[in-house]
Amino acid sequence: MYEVARKTGSGETPSQPATQELDEAELVRGCQTGDRPSQDEFYRRFRRQVAANLYRVLGQRVDLDDLVQDVFIIAFRGLSRFRGDARLSTWLYRICVNVALGRIRSKARRPPPVLMVNPVADEVESSPPSPEQALRQKQDRERVYRALEAMQPKKRIVLYLHEIEGLDLKDIAYIVEAHPVTVRTRLFYARRDFYRLIAEDGE
Amino acid sequence: MTAARHVAPERLIEVDAGRASPRETARVDRHVAACARCAAARERLARARDAMTDIAAQQPPELGWDHIGARVYWSTSSARHRALREAERPWWRRPAVLVVASVGLAAATTAALALWPADQRPGVSDAADRAAPPRPQAPKVVAGSATDRARSILRGVVTFASGQVALDGTEPRTDGVELGAVLSSEVEMGARLRTGEGRLVIQFGQASGFALGPHSSVTVGSFDDRAVELVVYEGAVEVELSHRRADQTFVVVAGHHRVSVVGTAFQVAHRAGQVDVECARGRVMVSDGASEVPVSAGEQLKVLEEAVLARALRQTVDPRRLAALERSLARPLLPAWTASPALLDTSSTVELAAPAGRAVRVDGVEVGVGTFALRVMSGRHHLQVSNGAGGFGHGAWIDAEPRARHRARAGLDGVVRLLRSGTDGIAAGGRSLEAMRAGEPAAAARARRLRRRQLTAALGGSARARQCMVPLEKRDLVSGSNVLFDIGFNADGSQGHLNVIRSNVPPDVERCLRAVVDEVQLPDGPAATVRFELAF
């Protein structure tokens, strides 16, 4: 009955073409001055990217709404300090990573769940594979997330950003706020740990 | 390389990625061919790489974007920060409190002066009176009397009656019961309700009710807002309870057993010396005075009247039976937003004579079979009767007015004809709304247009309507909100009925807007029923 959210929803067809055309600098300026249409556009433009980052790095949609909310609250509060030394999307990556790290660390302090959440249970595929294929793919993805969860958070994030998001060392260094050489070293050990965990999984 | 020294996983990756030398690749391939463990590891690594590509292509699930957005804006908005800062200030320094306090003080003084009899008001010597020793106080009311006074007597409204039913404890007549008269009666403490081949539904309080199945006899013991007690002598009673006060008890007595309610929906049957309790939702406690047995949702308890309750076996209700019970419980208990006494003033009755066994729908919901009388909220309702082949015809529309009695008859073909009240003549029955609209005189259409214009003028820019939207405004969800009303205006401009047809706002906002529309009084003019949308 309550459809206000859907109706007022910005959706993917924004009703304000003027703000859609804003470039990043204008968008940031608008957000910094508290301009509501700019904040709307900022949220609309990046919400899917933020959700995708968090979803892929964590491998589950549990509390995803709350985490997306956290990222945007941090972003809006921190936009006044955004100096433009990186792309806006990369800057948001950094916030996502910090939020995800917080989540991973808090999760590690809690007892492990009995049942692993299927990370892609609600995914809709364009051409559905056969049941056997689907099961196999699901098991493979679960194996990857199991291995990632067994790793140290810092290594996990670096590996995720490099291997899954495909970012280069410089961007990763900005996001994790470390020197590129440190990132390279961390990535080397992360890969080694990850491949060993995968190779030994199921033995 | 031997099986004892396996290939490191990172080396396998290098080889598979083509980053190793041909010599190294051949050496690894030879080892993997002879080593099952390394072959399995190589397979797992290859699949993991595919899985990572797969993960990279994953799209996030759809989230409640607008809801998240609203929470973000609210968390970061300056209004929120102002509110937080305000909350940190001492309460006596808040301007709003000062205004409210002074207004409240003035109002209290005015009210006290208005309510105090003039001859007992203190004079100018009030200050001296205050200094005088206190006067003897009136004797205190004993607690018991206070409790009794606090009790509010409930009155039940019959919302559905079919077949042979009686509200006075007499044997239900088999030669035809005046169902309309049954529906206009109220049920109070001490009422003895009986059914033959029939069904009776009574609603009380805020959307709570109970229904008597066929061949049932029930007495209403206590019936106030503190305690409700139903005594089942024979047959079955189904109970559906809405939210109750914490200190309110609801008990069904069947033989030696008392079923007290913890939950919301259940049935107690008392037949041939056996008590059968089925719980559809929530939980009930069955007691025989010596022991108690809980029955939870989806469970049933069968116990002979003379048997020991503690040894009775709880069973799971058959899913089909449970579904039937749920359907039965959901039926004619009106989803009224008013308490039962007000229900009498705002609703009307519909008496329908339909062939035996034919299902009947009101507003698309199946409510009964064959001939029955039903209480409906005032407004326009669609009545359909099964045509015998399993389908439903166009049916007929009823413009139900408060406290009115409407009569209809359905033939074997399922065609519904509305009967003029008090006569057997056929009114504009059996026609669909479209047919009625197409044939209506131009004067009716003009009347509707006029009333709609007047309504628009009365509500346009209503400050109260805007006030209703404040909760949504805080979340920036006002735009696109709308509520569609169906309003019947009498010739004197008063409202005959007011129904919400469609709404996309939360229930509290909807109630607020309904109250605003409810207060509109138009000038004298033609009677008309209009559909009116409040859109923001």
**Mean pLDDT calculated for residue range B35-64:** 84
**Mean pLDDT calculated for residue range B459-488:** 79
Residues 6+ apart with CB under 8 A from A147: A194, A197, A198, A201, B48
Residue with the larger pLDDT of the pair A124 and B53: B53
E-assigned strand segments in B305-346 = 313-316
Chain segment A52-82, per-residue pLDDT in tens: 888 888 887 777 888 898 899 888 888 887 8
**Are the beta carbons of B237 and B267 closer than 8 angstroms?**
yes
Nearest CA in chain A to B40: A199
Of the candidates B80, B74, B298, the residue with the CA atom closest to the CA atom of residue A73: B74
Name the residue ranges covered by the structural domains of chain A: 16-117, 126-203
Residue with the larger pLDDT of the pair A63 and B177: A63
Residue with the larger pLDDT of the pair B413 and B173: B413
Fold classified for A16-117: Rna Polymerase Sigma Factor; Chain: A (1.10.1740)
pLDDT of residue B478: 75
pLDDT of residue A186: 92
pLDDT band at A117; cut points 50, 70, 90: very low
Which amino acid is located at A159 in the chain? L
Give contacts of B 203-262 with A, CB under 8 A.
none
CA distance, residue B479 to nearest chain A CA (Å): 6
**Right CATH number for B159-330 from 3.60.15.10, 2.30.30.30, 2.130.10.10, 2.60.120.1440?**
2.60.120.1440
* Average pLDDT in chain B: 72
Instruction: For residues A42 and A34, give the distance between their C-alpha atoms in angstroms, rounded to a whole number.
Output: 12
pLDDT above 60: residue B398: yes
Inter-chain CB proximity B44 and A143 less than 8 Å: yes
**Mean pLDDT calculated for residue range B405-418:** 83
Question: Beta strands B227-240 and B217-223: pairing type?
Answer: antiparallel
3-state helix, strand, coil in chain B (%, to 5): 35, 30, 35
**CATH no. for B442-535:** 3.30.2420
Fold classified for A126-203: Arc Repressor Mutant, subunit A (1.10.10)
Least confident of A62-76, A84-98, B238-252, B499-513: B238-252
pLDDT band at B262; cut points 50, 70, 90: low
**Are the beta carbons of B255 and B270 closer than 8 angstroms?**
yes
pLDDT band at A10; cut points 50, 70, 90: very low
Residue with the larger pLDDT of the pair B50 and B282: B50
The answer, for B65 touching chain A at a CB cutoff of 8 Å, is yes
pLDDT above 60: residue A160: yes
Least confident of B11-25, B237-251, B440-454: B237-251
pLDDT of residue A189: 92
Q: Between the CA of residue B451 and those of B100, B401, B493, B498, B514, what are the distances in Å? A: 40, 18, 9, 14, 17
Fold classified for B340-439: Immunoglobulin-like (2.60.40)
Nearest CA in chain B to A1: B504
pLDDT of residue A85: 77
pLDDT above 50: residue B514: yes
Residues 6+ apart with CB under 8 A from B103: none
Which amino acid is located at A14 in the chain? P
**Mean pLDDT calculated for residue range B388-392:** 76
For the residues of A137-157, what is the DSSP string, one character each?
HHHHHHHHHHHHHHS-HHHHH
Contacts of A198 in chain B (CB under 8 A): 9, 41, 44-45, 48
Of the candidates A126, A125, A150, A149, the residue with the CA atom closest to the CA atom of residue A138: A125
What percent of chain A lies above the pLDDT cut of 70?
76
Please tell me the number of Cα atoms within 13 Å of B105 on its side-chain side.
5
Least confident of A114-123, A124-133, A139-148: A114-123
pLDDT band at B85; cut points 50, 70, 90: low
Contacts of B71 in chain A (CB under 8 A): 69
The answer, for B43 touching chain A at a CB cutoff of 8 Å, is no
For residue A199, give the nearest of B9, B51, B78 by CB distance. Answer: B9
ipTM score of complex: 0.73
Chain segment B98-124, per-residue pLDDT in tens: 333 333 434 443 334 343 343 333 333
CA distance, residue B523 to nearest chain A CA (Å): 33
**Domains A16-117 and A126-203 fall in the same CATH topology:** no
Place of tokens 């399993």: B390
Name the residue ranges covered by the structural domains of chain B: 9-56, 159-330, 340-439, 442-535
pTM over 0.90: no
Residue of B55, B473, B504 to mutate for A, most A C-beta atoms under 10 A: B55
Contacts of B478 in chain A (CB under 8 A): 8
Q: Cβ of B526: how many Cβ atoms within 10 Å?
A: 14
Please list, residue by residue across A143-159, b when 16 or more beta carbons sit within 10 angstroms of its beta carbon and e when fewer do.
bbbebbbebebbbbbbb
**Mean pLDDT calculated for residue range B54-64:** 78
Q: Between the CA of residue B321 and those of B91, B278, B419, what are the distances in Å? A: 58, 10, 38
DSSP assignment letter at B225: S
Q: Between the CA of residue A198 and those of A58, A142, A148, A194, what are the distances in Å? A: 18, 11, 9, 6
What percent of chain A lies above the pLDDT cut of 90?
7
B250: helix, strand or coil:
strand
Least confident of A99-113, A175-189, B302-316, B384-398: A99-113
pLDDT band at B78; cut points 50, 70, 90: low
Instruction: For residues B356 and B371, give the distance between their C-alpha atoms in angstroms, rounded to a whole number.
Output: 7
What percent of chain B lies above the pLDDT cut of 70?
72
- The tokens for B88 are 């940190």
pLDDT band at B333; cut points 50, 70, 90: low
pLDDT of residue B340: 58
Chain segment B201-246, per-residue pLDDT in tens: 888 765 678 888 888 899 988 888 778 888 888 888 888 776 556 5
Least confident of B85-94, B375-384, B397-406: B85-94
Contacts of B477 in chain A (CB under 8 A): 4-5, 8
pLDDT of residue A190: 92
Residues 6+ apart with CB under 8 A from B81: none
pLDDT of residue A148: 87
- The tokens for A181 are 């050489």
pLDDT above 60: residue B409: yes
